[in-house]
Amino acid sequence: MYVAVKGGERAIANAHAWLAEERRGNTDVAELSITQIREQLSLAVNRVMAEGSLYDPDLAALAIKQARGDLIEAIFLIRAYRTTLPRFGASEPVDTGAMACDRRISATFKDLPGGQVLGPTFDYTHRLLDFKLAADGGQPEAPTREAEPGDVPHVTEFLNREGLIEEAPHDDTPPPDLTREPLEMPADRALRLQALSRADEGFTLGLAYSTQRGYARNHAFVGELRIGTVPVEMDIPELGFAVEIGDVSLTECETVNQFKGSKTEPPQFTRGYGLVFGQSERKAISMALVDRALRWEELGEDNVGAPAQDAEFVLYHADNIQATGFLEHIKLPHYVDFQSELELVRKLRREASAAQVQEAAE
Amino acid sequence: MTDQAYNFAYLDEQTKRMIRRAILKGLAIPGYQVPFASREMPMPYGWGTGGVQVSAAILTPEDTFKVIDQGADDTTNAVSIRTFFERTAGVETTTTTADASVIQTRHRIPEDPLSAGQILVYQVPIPEPLRFLEPRESETRKMHSLEEYGLMHVKLYEDISRHGHIATAYAYPVKVEGRYVMDPSPIPKFDNPKLDGMEAIQLFGAGREQRIYALPPYTHVVSLDFEDHPFEASKADHPCGMCGAEDSYLDEVIMDDAGGRMFVCSDTDYCEARQAAGHRGKDAA
């Protein structure tokens, strides 16, 4: 006997209750606090802030807890929250040249003003499981010294003095805002960078890697990678001047790329740029490589048909919240469409087999 | 109870105004896809965020709201969206088609004809009817502006030469007022004739793709076809097992593992109203 499916409402409520129970896990184990996540899973927090486009470590930590550690789900929670927030204004552009660097390395010069600072990096760790952490991590302490005084100039500025790298002229045009206007093609560089900055890390990494393997190879050197905090200033109309409202930690990557010259440009180095919230250096480097690949048109290079050169392909598929939503929506009922396909396939099969019988008879 | 932490119907008034402008533009140019700055909603993209944003922008406290998914009021996502607006807008909800002033739908048009004063809001996954012929948005927009629809006719023609039929069973493309080719969202082609000359306003929202389009009342909507292969609305060739209706779109339900199956109305409100009026199908208890 067929009974129309009822009780969707109760099923949903029960599923939510079960989810909450699963999230908490075994209650004999102490509950994870937001501050623990913020302090001890800070790179996950950074990724959620970067791709969620909202700089708030506590909210990001809460989202990670609520999402049971599923970072894309956490990013989704942050995005959905962010979109409800009123917008008071825009900050002044941050000056990464004045960054208080925790880490600053250049792959193009052995030594340079401001120095090479490794900072807290996994780079030269041996990837051996540290079983001490399974018991008790203890309270590790790192040696300290005074920071070098003064700003840390950008590496590309040195090259620029010799005219070896393309100019990056100052531009005061307000950048487009893809969170307030629909993404439309062709997208200028500011819009592309904005989209890439909150693009999925894995997708950006894959695209960047594809350029290294020959799909629009642009041979990138990491001119500079820097991680640290910069002050954020905002112009307060009532005061008539900008005041510091806080600081954010950023990862910035500038790549220096080969360029043989084109009809319009002499041979010189070109730039790729990546800027991401928090310590997210894999993402920042990937972003710089993809940015450079997307610039083929303005530099007069050939379009070799590589995915990383195709702005529509990259920008329309880089957002993991859009992607995961649409991908997972195929879990929703599709009885109606499927029924119409069933009817069609049955009809086509009937006709095909009738035609075969006819042929056999002839 | 209305959730006080958010504005009426969740979205802030600025955003609603932006969406209303897109809707008005869509109504002024029937079938034209208007880009709009779609917001992240608290439900995933692909789950009706376009329809939800359109509904949020048009709902007033006096409205009565109905949500259907696959024609049914009680499918999980319909329940979830209805609950969302109960919580954030506190509007009356109903399952009765005739009582609703705004109906949000996924994949169906109700069987009962809609009347003037009602608004039907469609959830749209891929608003671009030319998308699977040309993946590039910059190209398809050009094709629409030049009214260059040859590619679509070639595709339909190739279907006929290969299968003897146009092999599109849902999201069957239509032409609006002799101008724009439009995707009616993935409704079965059985529903296509209802689009034409409908008394109610029809609004289409695609959140992830950031597009809104619209059909004002009494718009002329024609399903694409050829003179010698006219469009044919089709459905399972059975009456409803519960209410005996012969004119409604049917879902096929598998009853056992021996191939037993029955057919029931996909429009649950239509089916229940008929049963309440004493109609009985062969499988009704």
List the 294-313 stretch of A: residues with Cβ below 8 A of B. 312
Q: Tell me if B18 sits within 8 A of B37, measured CB to CB.
A: yes
Q: Strand B102-106 vs strand B92-93: parallel, antiparallel, or unpaired?
A: unpaired
CA diameter of chain A: 96
Using an 8 Å CB-CB cutoff, list chain B residues near A83: 39-41
Q: Strand B119-123 vs strand B102-106: parallel, antiparallel, or unpaired?
A: parallel
B48 part of the active site: no
pLDDT of residue B4: 64
Which one is predicted more confidently, A356 or B115?
A: B115
* Statement: residue B2 has pLDDT above 60: no
- The half-sphere exposure of A43 on its side-chain side, counting CA atoms within 13 A, is 9
Choose the mutation target among B25, B39, B45 for the interface with A, i.e. most A CBs under 10 Å. Answer: B45
pLDDT of residue A6: 57
Joined tokens for residue A73 = 């789900």
CA angle, A72 then A92 then A42, to 5°: 30
B127 Cβ neighbours under 8 A, 6+ residues apart: B33, B183, B204, B206, B209, B211, B213
B51 part of the active site: no
Nearest-Cα residue of chain B relative to residue A86: B12
- Cα–Cα distances in angstroms (integers) from residue B148 to residues A156, B130, B145, B153, in the given order: 48, 10, 8, 10
pLDDT of residue A268: 84
- β-partners of residue B265 are B250
Interface membership of A79 toward B (CB under 8 Å):
yes
Interface membership of A85 toward B (CB under 8 Å):
no
> A239-288, pLDDT tens digit by residue?
889 999 999 999 999 999 887 777 666 788 889 999 999 999 999 999 99
Least confident of A143-152, B145-154, B200-209: A143-152
Asked if A80 and B285 come within 8 Å (Cβ–Cβ), the reply is no
- The half-sphere exposure of A3 on its side-chain side, counting CA atoms within 13 A, is 2
pLDDT of residue B116: 96
| Mean pLDDT along residues B4-14 | 85
Distance, CA of B169 to CA of A259 (rounded, Å)? 51
Asked if B74 and A2 come within 8 Å (Cβ–Cβ), the reply is no
> A203-246, pLDDT tens digit by residue?
999 999 999 988 988 888 899 999 999 999 999 888 889 999 99
- Catalytic residue, chosen from B50, B51, B240, B244, is B240
pLDDT of residue A238: 87
- Mean pLDDT rounded to a whole number for chain A: 89
> A41-73, pLDDT tens digit by residue?
999 999 999 999 999 999 999 999 999 999 999
CA angle, A126 then A132 then A135, to 5°: 150
First to last CA, chain B: 38
- Cα–Cα distances in angstroms (integers) from residue A362 to residues A153, A310, A355, in the given order: 86, 54, 11
If pLDDT is split at 50, 70 and 90, which confidence band does B29 have?
Answer: very high
CA angle, B173 then B176 then B182, to 5°: 35
* Statement: residue B285 has pLDDT above 70: no
| Mean pLDDT along residues A135-152 | 82
pLDDT of residue A350: 87
Rg of chain A in Å (alpha carbons): 26
Asked if A329 and B44 come within 8 Å (Cβ–Cβ), the reply is yes
| Mean pLDDT along residues A165-181 | 85
What's the DSSP call for residue A207?
A: H
Interface membership of A354 toward B (CB under 8 Å):
no
If pLDDT is split at 50, 70 and 90, which confidence band does A126 have?
Answer: confident
Interface membership of A162 toward B (CB under 8 Å):
no
- Mean pLDDT rounded to a whole number for chain B: 92
Distance, CA of B120 to CA of B101 (rounded, Å)? 9
Q: Which of A86, A336, A341 sits opposite B71 (nearest CB)?
A: A336
Q: Tell me if B120 sits within 8 A of B83, measured CB to CB.
A: no
Asked if A329 and B69 come within 8 Å (Cβ–Cβ), the reply is no
| Mean pLDDT along residues A160-187 | 85
CATH architecture classification, B13-127+176-221: 3-Layer(aba) Sandwich (3.40)
CB burial readout B191-205, b (16+ within 10 A) else e: bbebbeebebbbbbb
Rg of chain B in Å (alpha carbons): 19
* Statement: residue B1 has pLDDT above 50: no
Residue B251 in 3-state DSSP?
strand
B243 part of the active site: yes
> B51-66, pLDDT tens digit by residue?
999 999 999 999 999 9
Residues in chain B: 285
Asked if B74 and A336 come within 8 Å (Cβ–Cβ), the reply is no
**pTM of the predicted model as reported, rounded to 2 decimal places:** 0.86
- Catalytic residue, chosen from B26, B207, B265, B281, is B265
Helix and strand numbers, DSSP H then E, in chain B: 7, 12
- Catalytic residue, chosen from B26, B31, B48, B205, is B31
Distance, CA of B162 to CA of A352 (rounded, Å)? 11
> B171-194, pLDDT tens digit by residue?
999 999 999 999 999 999 999 999
Asked if A329 and B46 come within 8 Å (Cβ–Cβ), the reply is yes
Nearest-Cα residue of chain B relative to residue A79: B40
ipTM: 0.79
Using an 8 Å CB-CB cutoff, list chain B residues near A8: 74-76, 78-79
Asked if B46 and A182 come within 8 Å (Cβ–Cβ), the reply is no
Count of CB pairs separated by less than 8 Å, A with B: 154
Q: Tell me if A165 sits within 8 A of A270, measured CB to CB.
A: yes
How close is the nearest chain B Cα to the Cα of A57, in Å? Answer: 20
